[in-house]
Amino acid sequence: MTPLATGPRVLLRRLRKVMAGAGSAQTRLDRVVQVIASNMVAEVCSVYLMRGGDSLELFASEGLKASAVHSTRLRVGEGLVGEIAARAQPLALADAQSHPSFAYRPETGEEIYHSLMGVPIQRSGRVIGVLVVQNRTRRHYSEEEIEALQTVAMVLAELVGAGDLVAPEVLREGVSDQDTPRRLDGLSLADGVAIGVAMLHEPRIEITQVIADDADVEAERLEAALEGLRGSIDSMLSATDLAIAGEHREVLEAFRMFANDKGWVRRIHQALDAGLTAEAAVQRVQEENRARMSQVADTYLRDRLHDLDDLSNRLIRHLMGEPLTAATRGLPDQAIVLARHMGPADLLDYDRAKLCAVVLEEGSPNSHVAIIARALGIPMVGQLAGVLEMIEPGDRLIVDGDSAHVYLRPSADITVSYRQNIAARQERVEQYVKLRGQPAITRDGVEITLNINAGLVGDVRYLAETGADGIGLFRTEFQFMVSATLPRLKTQRELYATVLKRAAGKPVVFRTLDIGSDKVVPFLHHAREENPALGWRATRLALDRPALLRYQVRALLQAAGGKPLNILFPLIADVAEFKAARAIVDKELEALKRAHRRRPSVLRVGSMLEVPALFWQLEALLPLVDFISIGSNDLLQFLFACDRSNPRLANRYDLLSPSALSFIREVVKICNRHGVEISLCGEAAGRPLEAMALIGLGLRHVSMSPASIGPVKMMVRSLTVAELEGYMKTLIPLPDHSVRAKLREFAQDHDIII
């Protein structure tokens, strides 16, 4: 049986005639379901539309009882129709009533129909309804029939969205007023605070013609638009401020690869063959990708599908001759751009003198756009579901990237408070700038080394801006996470050489790949794990794939080219792992010697202490290492068996607990006894109170985010170490859950600036 009795093009032409015909919106919608039922050889065709954002109302039906129309409602997730809406996926069942999600509605009279096929009606990435056909027989619907119904649903989506079939105010009935101030809590993607006015990243795309008149013409239009799209990306890559090597360039290279993806283009051509215009065909494939995104748990794959979504939007605008985004329509000063998600190329389109922040409904810290935002210093908050429905262009917003808050239409007192906060931050920044050239020396003459953590080439500039002593932790995995394939030796070498050159002689500690867990790379298969933070990651992964580690170590050694080099191995659990990793370094050093290439002038190799088990092997490990770096983030979650990404446990355990402080103090003692440098990198080092406690335990080297250098240096210069060390000894034996309050009182009593 063919999916459509007379073919998809004939059905689309018939639907177009119905839309152009006379009569009320309801009359035309009733006629639409009759035409679909006839062409799909179905006894029933029904259209359910979303009302108030959380329920589906039967708006028209051919085959079900007329009295059920506008009376039958299902919640999203309720019944088969509700499940289709919730999952944004088609569903085809030969025996619908045996499905566990089947919900019987006696007023519809549908008990005589056995088979069901339904598809979501989607617009702008959201489900706005469900299109269903039913048959009395137990009919097995084919893939072609499902695709045909999806094409029809796409046409309906545009007609409904444009108000041609149902007045928009009818669908919005019951939606609450959104004029009151609100605070939304999201996920910080890039630090910073901004006050500004809302701008929609993408203007509403209104595709006025979805059914093609001439398939050949549409194919030609598509090819021309694809050529223009690819050309715009090539131009972006050749821009002077993006021509240098770095993660931002690799992001755009990956973006260009997607624009040339043959599978993506082939699916668009298949949609053209169904009788759609070029822009409607692109949108059809885009909606399919969005549906896939909603079902993908893997953050890396979701981010790559977002890139395809970005490309689809740009391609549609090429076809329609529309401005690509708000970036090309002229931004007001202090613009805060809002989007469901955003691609890296789109962010780079904006005037950086006017763009002050970005708010996303989706997004992840490792997404391409977040990497670019951090490199450019643009505050960004994500994971704010439904935010686009709550705002209007021109609304006042406050974006707090530090705390992951977004204030919609903030009240006067909140605005005043944040303006004071921003002014105070600026004053503190000016004070920190004055300290930039001053050493981090305590009142009693103890020198503390303050380093920054980095992960992007652009981060190196913070050495000069903050006056930091060096880079205590350079995370090398970002380069791998934004590349579709294993970065070539030359690419890796150039990045590391650039970092060393820009560091201008200040020390840089390169941590080898810490991939696995939540850091997925596309070129390495990684099976799902129940406890990924405890799983196949970091050095244990690298030792199982020694070629990967050898390749990176080779690039690091070559990049040093006569300069000092520091290599740090993450997640070492026992001495044997460090020996195996160090052996790879030694082999690559020998290869450099045989090739008569310059070796690093000084090579230091260290181990991170994150796994508590390593503590009991320190005596055996320390003679083999040049330095130890405590990774406080992972160490704490392992020490307390506490998932640090679980919000329920976020405040359950504290670095400033006697048990954690005691552990770190013993590590410092053992390292000092062996004369091995000991440092700590992690979020704790960047908070003045925690940094004060660490110094009181004997640490003299700490590494933190660049923004923390100023506050911590100010604390250090107001501190007397001898007094603090004596006080810390009295805290270690206490049974308290945390000694945070006691340390804060000590700081206040001794005029320590925290």
Domains in the chain with CATH codes: 8-171 (3.30.450.40), 178-202+333-416 (3.50.30.10), 204-322 (1.10.274.10), 444-749 (3.20.20.60)
Residue ranges of alpha helices (H) inside 94-246 are: 143-161, 168-171, 215-237
Asked whether residue 282 carries a pLDDT value surpassing 90, the answer given is: no
* pLDDT, position 175: 43
pLDDT of residue 53: 64
CB-count burial class (<10 Å; 0-12, 13-18, 19+) for 38: middle
On the question of pLDDT at 640 being above 70, the answer is: yes
Lowest mean pLDDT among 9-13, 158-162, 370-374, 702-706: 158-162
Residue 616 has what pLDDT?
A: 95
More confident residue, 659 or 706: 659
Q: Which of 368, 526, 671, 701 is catalytic?
A: 368
What CA–CA distance (Å, rounded) separates 333 from 196? Answer: 8
Is 132 within 8 Å of 48 (Cβ atoms)?
yes
Stretch 74-89: mean pLDDT, rounded?
89
Closest CA to 35 of 18, 20, 52: 18
Mark whether 671 is an active-site residue. no
- Mean pLDDT value across residues 502-522: 80
What is the pLDDT averaged over residues 479-495? 77
Q: Which of 209-213, 482-486, 600-604 has the lowest mean pLDDT?
A: 482-486
Q: In this structure, what token pair is assigned to residue 278?
A: 């070029």
- Give per-residue pLDDT as tens, 421-430: 778 777 777 8
Mean pLDDT of 338-365: 83
Q: Is 515 exposed, middle or buried (0-12, 13-18, 19+ CB in 10 A)?
A: buried
Mean pLDDT within 435-445: 93
Assess whether 368 carries a catalytic annotation: yes
**Residue 299 reports pLDDT greater than 70:** no
Tell me the average pLDDT across 188-202: 86
Q: Which residue has the higher pLDDT, 253 or 748?
A: 748
Say yes or no to pLDDT of 51 above 90. no
- Residue 130 has a pLDDT of 95
- 196 vs 308, higher pLDDT: 196
What is the distance between the alpha carbons of residues 202 and 342, in angstroms, rounded to a whole number?
A: 9
Confidence of residue 591 (pLDDT cuts 50, 70, 90): very high
Structure tokens at 364: 């992840």
Look at residue 80 in the predicted model and tell me its pLDDT. Answer: 94
Q: Is the pLDDT of residue 645 over 60?
A: no
Q: How far is 355 from 194, CA to CA, in rounded Å? A: 10
Above 90 in pLDDT, residue 569?
A: yes
Say what the pLDDT of residue 284 is: 82
- Catalytic-role residue among 306, 318, 681, 701: 681
Confidence of residue 324 (pLDDT cuts 50, 70, 90): low
pTM: 0.59
Region 476-497 average pLDDT: 79
**Cβ neighbours around 357 below 10 Å, total:** 26
The pLDDT score that the predictor gives to residue 131 is 95
The mean pLDDT value for 695-716 works out to 92
Regarding predicted confidence, which is higher, 13 or 466? 466
Looking at residue 331, the DSSP 8-state letter turns out to be: P
Sheet order of strands, 355-360 included: 182-185, 405-408, 396-400, 193-200, 335-339, 355-360, 380-382, 187-190
Please state, in angstroms and as integers, the Cα–Cα distance from residue 96 to each residue in 40, 104, 110, 132, following that order.
18, 11, 11, 12
Return the pLDDT at 246.
Answer: 47
More confident residue, 455 or 292: 455
**Mean pLDDT along residues 291-305:** 58
* 724 within 8 A of 701, measured Cβ to Cβ: no
Q: How far apart are CA 560 and CA 500, in angstroms?
A: 7
Whether 304 has a pLDDT exceeding 70, the answer reads no
Residue 248: predicted pLDDT: 47
As a whole number of angstroms, the distance between CA 352 and CA 509 comes to 31
Average pLDDT over residues 291-295: 61
At 311, which amino acid appears? L
Q: What pLDDT shows up at residue 346? A: 77
Q: What is the mean pLDDT of residues 290-318?
A: 66
Over residues 616-632, mean pLDDT: 96
Output the average pLDDT for the chain.
Answer: 83
Cα–Cα distance, 236 to 249 (Å, whole number): 10
